C-alpha cells in the first residue's frame, strides 16, 4: 500500500470571505472585459476610417501625393493588429468572469477551476506582451544610442 503525503492529499477549501472576494473580482473583471470589447470596437472603427482620412488629407495637401492613401492603409493595418493583440486578454478576462459567476451560481468547483485557468491565461498573455514591449523599448534605446554615436562621429 502506497502512502500519500499530507501535501498530496490536501484539498483547499474556500471560506466565505475568499468566495466573496472571487465573486467581486469576477464582477469587476466582467465590467472591464465589456469596456475592453468596446475599446476594441473603437480601434476597429478607427482602422476602418484611417484609409479614408489619410486619403482625404492627401487630396487636401498636394505635397503628400500618393503617400496619404498608402499611409492610411498602413495605419489601418496597424490598428487592426492592435485590435487583434488587445482581443485575447479581454477574451480571457471575460471567460474568467463568466465562468466564475457560473461556478458560484451552481456551486461547481470544476467550472471555478476553468475560470481560474482563463485568469492564468489572461495574466500570462499580459506578462508576455509586457516583456515584448520592454524588449522593443530596450532595442529602441540602444538604437538611439548607436545613432547618436554614429552621427556625432560624422
| pLDDT score recorded for residue 144 | 96
In this prediction the pTM is 0.80
70-73 contacts, C-beta under 8 A, 24 or more apart: none
Give residue 29's Cα distance to chain centre.
13
Give residue 71's Cα distance to chain centre.
25
Give the DSSP letter of residue 148: H
| pLDDT score recorded for residue 26 | 96
| pLDDT score recorded for residue 152 | 86
Low-confidence ranges of the chain (pLDDT < 70): 1-10, 55, 58-59, 62-69, 154
d(CA 51, CA 45): 11
d(CA 28, CA 123): 15
Amino acid at each position: 500500500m502506497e502512502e500519500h503525503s499530507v501535501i498530496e492529499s490536501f484539498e483547499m477549501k474556500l471560506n466565505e470571505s475568499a468566495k466573496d472576494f472571487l465573486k467581486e473580482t469576477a464582477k469587476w473583471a466582467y465590467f472591464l472585459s465589456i469596456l475592453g470589447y468596446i475599446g476594441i470596437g473603437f480601434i476597429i472603427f478607427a482602422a476602418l476610417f484611417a484609409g479614408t482620412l489619410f486619403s482625404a488629407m492627401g487630396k487636401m495637401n498636394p505635397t503628400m501625393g500618393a503617400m496619404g492613401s498608402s499611409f492610411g492603409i498602413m495605419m489601418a493595418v496597424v490598428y487592426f493588429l492592435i485590435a487583434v493583440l488587445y482581443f485575447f486578454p479581454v477574451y480571457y478576462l471575460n471567460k474568467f468572469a463568466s465562468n466564475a459567476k457560473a461556478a458560484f451560481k451552481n456551486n461547481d468547483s470544476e467550472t471555478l477551476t476553468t475560470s481560474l485557468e482563463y485568469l492564468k491565461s489572461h495574466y500570462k498573455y499580459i506578462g508576455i506582451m509586457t516583456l515584448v514591449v520592454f524588449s522593443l523599448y530596450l532595442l529602441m534605446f540602444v538604437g538611439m544610442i548607436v545613432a547618436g554615436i554614429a552621427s556625432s562621429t560624422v
